[in-house]
Structure 1
């Protein structure tokens, strides 16, 4: 059996509207995580990582202009 996808939660839940700024998942993705199949989890983790990268880029840009 294939290894399950690790939950991207880092136990620092900080929802900013519909997005957790700690793990990058949406409120809906967090809610549905346990019922997702492996391919859905993989896609969610990839989307969350891309969101976190975008957040980090935005933060770095903002800090550079201060």
Structure 2
């Protein structure tokens, strides 16, 4: 049986939520940060996809 490696947090130790409740360091919402430890790898990957979208939106 193959076990999947745990998806690690995108935290970069710059922890501050903006007015939209999104961390300016890792681009996760407050809820995503709070729930991260209890998320499955599938849920974590979905959050990382949203993080990538948020990062691109900020870069524009």
TM-score by length of 2: 0.88
Structure 2: give runs of 5+ residues left out of the alignment.
none
Number of residue-to-residue matches in the alignment: 57
Q: Larger Rg: 1 or 2?
A: 1
Structure 1: give runs of 5+ residues left out of the alignment.
58-66
| Residue in structure 2 matched with residue 39 of structure 1 by the alignment | 42
TM-score by length of 1: 0.80
Structure 1 segments (4+ residues) deviating >6 Å? none
Larger helix percent: 1
